[in-house]
Structure 1
Amino acid sequence: MATTKWKIDPAHSEIQFKVKHLMITNVTGYFEKFDLEVETEGDNFTKAKSIVFTANVDTINTNNQQRDTHLKSADFFDAANHAQLRFVGKQFEPSGEDYLLHGDLTIRGITKPITVKVEAAGTVVDPYGQTKAGFTVEGKIRRKEFGLTWDAVTEAGSVVVSDEIRIHCEIQLVKQA
């Protein structure tokens, strides 16, 4: 069967994360510039031959410039030395009505295996004749496993930033001609 190439539609996709601040509220952030390329066998995503996602760390945005500058610093992502984070999918498997995507995530030069839940929303042809596929991706990682180890504790003993990061992505792929 022929290989089908898919590319992310950045205008209709979002790459977000949430992290607990002071363990009482969530701060939401996202990456403004990212890329995703997928190769499938025909249009069958369960037979994906290649899944490669990258995000430009320098485009991190939490709607607070001071916090964003800190996140780009060596305390966190170290954007000067590690310009991108990268996920390479290894296996896309059915799990009930959804899917599990296993792969390797690299942040700050540290690569760890992760698994995310994927909900497939379907495939449609848009008014311009383009075939598009939609997915919602959710997962969790531990930031300290990737070298994002900055910590602070309040006078009352509360952690300022949690170790757990929740990932939420809305992905729209465009079938390439």
Structure 2
Amino acid sequence: MANVKWVVDPTHSEIQFKVKHLMITTVTGYFQKFNIEAETSDDKFTDAASVVFTADVDSISTNNEQRDTHLKSADFFDAAQHGEVRFVGTKYENTGGNDYKLHGDLTIKGVTKPVTVDVEFGGIVVDPYGQTKAGFTVSGKISRKEFGLTWNAVTEAGSVVVSDEIKLQAEVQLVKQA
């Protein structure tokens, strides 16, 4: 049997990141334009021969235009030079039940580092239009400084403005391709 191909259903998926601001509250951001493609050896998604995620840096939204412009600048993502965030999966392993670890290489701002995220497999369903869909909740953490996103400022009291740790959260629905 040939590998089964899956692509993201963007209207039923979201890619978020969360960062502490002033170390007292959390700001949530989204990538509004992204793509995910996967290949499995069967249609049950028990393995993944390939997983590739890309996000358009210019599509970042934190519901604040001034902050979004700053995030796209050279202080952070440098969208003009590095317009894409990319993750290429290298291993998809079951850790028990519907829980998986997805290992791969994440590239942000020209820097590639190994990253592992937790994946909760929500199952497979055929929607009312006859499409086979697989659902996942993905979570993880990265250090933004490891990827060259080093900008920061300090408050009068000595607190940092933006935390190093970035929490990743995604709800992903993939559609099986004919």
Q: TM-score, normalised by structure 2?
A: 0.98
Q: Deviations over 1:108-154 (max 9, x none)?
A: 01000000000000000000000000000000000000000001100
SS state at 2:130 partner = coil
Counterpart amino acid of 1:156?
A
Counterpart amino acid of 1:68?
D
Q: How does 1:19-168 map to 2 (within 5 A)?
A: 19-97=19-97, 98-168=99-169
Q: Which 4+ runs in 1 deviate beyond 2 A? A: 44-47
Counterpart amino acid of 1:170?
E
For structure 1, the residue ranges without an aligned partner over 5 or more in a row are: none
Counterpart of 1:2 in structure 2 is 2
CA distance in 2, matches of 1:141, 1:86: 14
SS state at 2:174 partner = strand
RMSD of aligned Cα (Å)? 0.7
Counterpart amino acid of 1:134?
G
Is 1:15 matched with 2:15?
yes
Q: Deviations over 1:15-52 (max 9, x none)?
A: 00000000000000000000000011022434311100
CA distance in 1, matches of 2:17, 2:64: 15
CA contact (8 A) 2:44 2:124 kept: no
Counterpart amino acid of 1:50?
S
Counterpart amino acid of 1:64?
N
CA distance in 2, matches of 1:96, 1:157: 44
SS state at 1:45 partner = coil
Counterpart amino acid of 2:79?
A
Query: Number of matched residues?
Result: 177
SS state at 1:68 partner = helix
